[in-house]
Every structure is written in C-alpha cells, then in structure tokens.
Structure 1
Amino acid sequence: MTSSALFRRAALAALLALSPITGTAVATARPAPAGPGDIVESRPLTPAELIPGAARGFRIVYRTTGQNGEPAISGGDLFLPAGAAPPGGRPVVSWAHSTSGTTRGCTPNLDGQRADGFDETPQLSAYLARGYAVEATDYIGLGADGVYEYLAGRAAGHAVLDIVRAGRTSDPGLSESVVLAGHSIGGQSVLFAAASAPDYAPDLDVRGVLSYAPTSNVDGVIAAVAGPELPAAPALDGLQVRILMILAGLDHARPELHVLDHLSPWGRQMLAVAEAGRDCMGAIEAAVAGQPLGRLYAEPLSDPAIGAALRDYLGVPTTGYRAPVLLLQGVPDTVQPMPTTLLLQEQLRQGGADSRLRLYPSATHFTVLPQAADDDRAFLLGVLPNR
C-alpha cells in the first residue's frame, strides 16, 4: 500500500472517531451529580478503632447539607455486630453524640468515644449487642473539612440522616429502617432529623427517636443570661462555654447579625481559646471556671433579630414528626434541667407528635444513659425489632 493510501485511511479513521453519528460510536454516560449521603472517602476501621461489640466497621466521609442548605461534608463511623444480617437487612441505630468541642478532631469517633468527659462507648456497644448496626456521625466540621456550628439543628439533623444513606453504600446488607438516637445536643440533633426526614430523606424508613436529655428551650435562657452585669455562679460554669460555642456557630451561620460584636475583649479572648481546641473542651472550661458570666459581654443580647435567629438556629421543631418519640430525662440534671424537657414534651404533644417522656429520679445528665437502658430496649423492640 502506498504512503498516500495509508494517509487517506488514517484520515478517514480519525474523522469517523470524531463523528457523533457513526454507527459504532459509544455514548459515555455522565456521572450523576453528587448528593447528600454520597461517600467521599471510606476505609475499614482497624481493630484498635473498633468498639466492644463491633466485629467490623468503616470510617466514612460523606456528603450532607449545611444549616442554610449549602453542600457540606461530614465524617462518621459505622460499627457492625458479628453474624449475618437478618432477612430484609440489618436494622440501624443512627447515633448523635453530645458536646465534644468545636475543632476538627474533637469528635468521639476520633477521641476515644468521649463527649463532655463522658464515655459513650457502652451505649453504642449496647445497641450492637442487640444486633443493631450503629452509625455515629461526627457532625459537619469535627471529623472532616468544614466549620462546626455548635447546636445548628438543621445541619446536625442532616448529618444524622445522611450517614445512614452513606452506610448502605459501605455495607449493602444494612436496612433502610433506622431509629435515631442521641444524647444532650445529640438529643436535639435527632429531633431535628426526625422532623425533617419526611421531606429531606423520604428514602429512609425512620421508625422512632430516642432522645436522652435533649438540649431544648435554651434560646430564651441565653438571651436572659447574656449581659455584662451577671455575677459568677458555680452552676453556670458549663453554660459559659456552651454560650460561647453557640454564638460562634450562629455568627458563622448568620454573619449579617454581627453577634460576636456583643462580646467583650475578654469574651473574644475566651472564644479564641475555645476555637483553638486544646484538650477539646479542657482548656476553655479551665479558663472560664469561676469567672462572672457577664464578663463575656460588652452589651446584652437584647436585639430581637438575634433572639429570632437563635430560635431558628437551635429551637427544636415541634411539628412534622411521623415516627414515635421517647424523651428520657434525669430529674436532678443540672446541664439540661428537667423543666426544659417537660416543656418540650408538652410542645411536641401539642404539635401532634406521638411523644412520651420517662423521668429518672436519680439520673444526672450522664447517668441517664445507663439508667434508661430498660426503657430504650423496650422502645427499640417495639418500633424496630431485630429479626
């Protein structure tokens, strides 16, 4: 074959390859846009990372949705018990942890399962022992890239739901049926998740909500105690740190309000300590201990716009629940006092929720978890039996 013939054949082959209408053309499908619950990264957990009762597990970074509807990512762990999944898939408990800090790495999954100095491992292990898979979100910004907004209810609720979607990609043997469970701020998170699930995650089968000592009805408290004239009070030491964390999160979610302008120079200094994250909560708790609460502020948080923003940011929804709710509350709790949960129960019932409240006469904010074991076991068996 002459060189000119070879050239013509090569040119014809190139034209055919470029033509969009050749009979042999192969269409390349575009990947679907990334959405909530899609996995960004996943790896098996090492034996050292597994908690008691977990035969295997995965570290997951997944896509979710932030407080204002923006795309975001979160991290979390999936723990799986031993044995084969039952017909229909293994049922899931999606766990939301309590206060653990504001900076990346300050999440129980990456810090020995400790939140607020309390070890949550026995609670998760108890679910595993009953045959449930446990998916434990870090929330946005604590276990992956992003900024953590403390008590931002919509963001946390989305992370609680989206880890269930992500978990089914890591282990297709998981069921779509889930119970949402959380303690303290996690109790608030799962209530937000349950109320938003019918619209945000209609693909999930949310069977019930276990909310232990949930953070609720605190927006009015914050406005009432946020002023430069307030004295020191030992019972308020923990509240100082939480108010700083709330204001920092609110400022990130609603920068147009300039919430941090209400802090004094010392208050801003304490906020910097909190955001530095040394010992997660340890350094900031030591720095504010015994100091007057009013020292945080240059002026009161009396602006009605800030009050409305706080309610929108962290106020527990009182309508929209399609699954039963069980609130579990210690009577002598000094972190989330019982009256706030009594009020929450009344609000949920008035909003049409199937909500029940169990009180424990000697349970503190932290011992409510083991003391409520019989009640949460009965609730789980009732709404999502593991068969």
Structure 2
Amino acid sequence: MTATAQPDGWHQLWGGAAVEYWTTRSTGEPVRASGALFVPAGQPPAGGWPIMAWDHGTTGLGPRCGCQADPEREVLPYRRREEDAIMRFFLAKGFVSILIGMRAARPDAQVDSYLTDFGRQLLDSVQYDCLGELTDRMAGIAPGSVLSRPLSEGPFPAVLRDYMTVATRGYDAPIPLLLNATDITVPSPLHAALAAQLAANGVGFETVVGTGGHTELNPQMWAAMDAFTDRVFAAPTVS
C-alpha cells in the first residue's frame, strides 16, 4: 500500500492521506483500488485506535470511481458533504477513518450472454468510465437495444442476489441501524426485511428511523451514533 499525505481541508477533514492498495475481486483476481485514510491527532489509546471503515455503493467501473482518493471527481457533491460530515464525527471521536474505494466483478453472471452485439460493444467501451461518463453514454439508449434476453433467466438472478445480500448473522456485538423511511436509493421495504432477518438470527440491533434521504442523518441518529461510539470506547480492549 502507498499513502500520500494530503493538506488539511482535503475531504473537509484533517490528517488525511490518499492511499492506493491491492485487493481481490470476488473471484480472487487481484485488482488495484484507492481510498482515503484519516488518523486522529495525538497519541493512540492503549490497544490502538479503533477503526471505522466507510464503504459505499459503486459510482462507476474505473479504478478511481469511488472518488475517495480524488474527491474533486465526485459527481454527487451533496453525497460527498454528507459522507465527510460522518467522517468528521468519527475522527473527532478518536477513530481512524478509512474511506474505501472498491470494485467487484462476477464473471459467473455470464453478462455477455444477455447482451446484443451492440450491448457487448457498449459494455467494452465503458469499462473504465465513472458515473458521470456512464450517464452521458447511456442517455437515450433503450434497454431493448442492449439486452437479448430477460435478466430474470439463467445465472444472473442468483449471482445478483448473492452480490447484493447483506449478512444477517455472525455479528458478535450489537449494531445500530439508522434508516430513513423516505430513502429512495434503498427503499424502506428493504429496511424492514433486513431488520426481520437480523431479529430472526438473534442479532442485537438498535433502530432509529428518520424521514430524510439516503445517508442523511437527523438529530436522533447523531445521538445514537454518539452513544454507540461511547459504548465502543467503554468496552474492554481484547488483546
């Protein structure tokens, strides 16, 4: 991994570095990725700094499309402001904050088998594009010109379900769920299903529901985050 120190104000934060590192796709294939790392000022506590890792949905296909290592490329500035506010909170609370830029690929989806000749050419042409470029390229293109058969057939549905599924077991500590009923990116029926599955698997969780948009936090959610981080610091360090 390489880290390049950034000036204060980068991501509207301090103590930051742009990082590049190698990770693996779901197939085990190595892939280069980038992100951002922030370390609190001062000496770390006994046992080291706690770590908060921020992952997010994809914003493109290229290696820098997460925009974490280069926030000026962000095509959704309001989302960046919300994410940076959350990072400031955790950094001030004494967490090392990592903003992860990752990509994933699933060859077993056999995407090419669903595409027309034009669709395959289009997919090849956008393999390094980010959200802004993708939006421009796809403007006015009808799904029927890209797809040769329904996505509900063949291996694609099972692969997509596996890729999109959130783990609902195996947690060894309670988790906070901060949910907005008016979120149109991840709609509320999915929130309800997640909570039901966590409960069915005996996972401890606390839910705070708001009426904002995706990633927006209301005062009750900030208070819940504050209480959660206080509990993290109050718990004994496991060596």
With structure 1 as the length reference, what TM-score do the two structures score? 0.52
**What are the within-5 Å matches in structure 2 for residues 1-387 of structure 1?**
41-47=1-7, 50-54=10-14, 56-70=15-29, 74-112=33-71, 114=74, 116-117=76-77, 118-119=79-80, 120-139=83-102, 148-149=103-104, 249-251=105-107, 254=108, 257-272=109-124, 274-277=126-129, 280-289=130-139, 292-361=142-211, 363-368=212-217, 372-385=221-234
1:59 and 1:78 in contact (8 A); partners too: yes
Letter in 2 for 1:138: G
Q: Which has the higher helix share?
A: 1
What do the CA deviations read for 1:24-60 (whole angstroms, capped 9, x no partner)? xxxxxxxxxxxxxxxxx33341316744442x34444
Distance 1:323 1:62, change over 3 A: farther
Shift of 1:116: 4.3
CA separation of 1:75 and 1:288: change in aligned 2, threshold 3 A? closer
Q: Equivalent residue of 2:68, what SS?
A: helix
Q: Given that residues 50 and 79 in structure 1 are in contact (C-alpha distance below 8 angstroms), is that contact kept between their aligned partners in structure 2?
A: no
Q: Quote the Cα distance in structure 2 between the aligned partners of 1:308 and 1:46.
A: 42
Q: 1:108 is paired with a residue of what secondary structure?
A: coil
Contact 2:18-2:36 at 8 Å conserved across structures: yes
Number of residue pairs aligned between Structure 1 and Structure 2: 232
Moved more, 292-301 or 333-342: 292-301
Change in Cα spacing, 1:73 to 1:112, as seen in structure 2 (3 Å) is closer
* 1:162-213 Cα distance to aligned partner (Å, 9 max, x none): xxxxxxxxxxxxxxxxxxxxxxxxxxxxxxxxxxxxxxxxxxxxxxxxxxxx
Determine the C-alpha separation between the residues in 2 that align with 1:70 and 1:116. Answer: 30
How far did 1:380 drift?
1.8
State the one-letter code of the partner of 1:125: R
Between the aligned residues of both structures, percent identity stands at: 29
1:284-309 CA-to-partner distances (Å, cap 9, x unmatched) read: 22343565545542110233533222
Q: 1:335 to 1:51 in 2, by over 3 A?
A: closer
Q: Distance in 2 between matches of 1:336 and 1:274?
A: 25
Native 8 Å contact 1:327 1:355 kept in 2: yes
* 1:272 CA displacement: 4.1
Task: Provide the alpha-carbon RMSD of the alignment.
Answer: 3.1
Tell whether the 8 Å contact from 1:273 to 1:283 is kept in structure 2 after alignment: no
Moved over 6 A (4+): none
Shift of residue 377, structure 1, vs aligned partner: 1.9
1: distance between equivalents of 2:194 and 2:144?
28
Residue segments in structure 1 that go unaligned for 5+ positions in a row = 1-40, 140-147, 150-248
Q: Which amino acid aligns with 2:47?
A: G
After superposition, the Cα gap between the structure-2 partners of 1:347 and 1:127, relative to the gap in structure 1 and judged at 3 Å, is same
Question: Cα offset for 1:72?
Answer: 5.1
Contact 2:7 2:16 in 1 (8 A): no
AA in 2 matched with 1:325: I
* Structure 1: distance between partners of 2:24 and 2:121: 31
Determine helix, strand or coil for the equivalent of 2:106: helix
Counterpart CA distance in 2 for 1:261 and 1:305 is: 10
> Can you give the 5+ residue segments of structure 2 that lack an aligned partner in the other structure?
none
Q: Which amino acid aligns with 1:262?
A: Y
Judge conservation of contact 2:27–2:106 (CA < 8 Å) in 1: no
Aligned to 1:38: none
Counterpart-to-counterpart distance in 2, 1:122 and 1:310: 31
Summarize deviations over 1:103-158 as a string: whole Å, max 9, x none: 0222222221747442122221121122222122222xxxxxxxx32xxxxxxxxx
Q: Give the Cα separation in 2 of the matches to 1:315 and 1:116.
A: 25
Q: Aligned equivalents of 2:75 and 2:90: distance in 1? A: 18
Residues 62 and 290 (structure 1), Cα distance of their counterparts in 2 relative to 1, 3 Å cut:
closer
Given that 1:123 and 1:369 are in contact with CA atoms closer than 8 Å, whether structure 2 keeps it comes out as no
| Stretch of structure 1 that moved more, 329-338 or 366-375 | 366-375
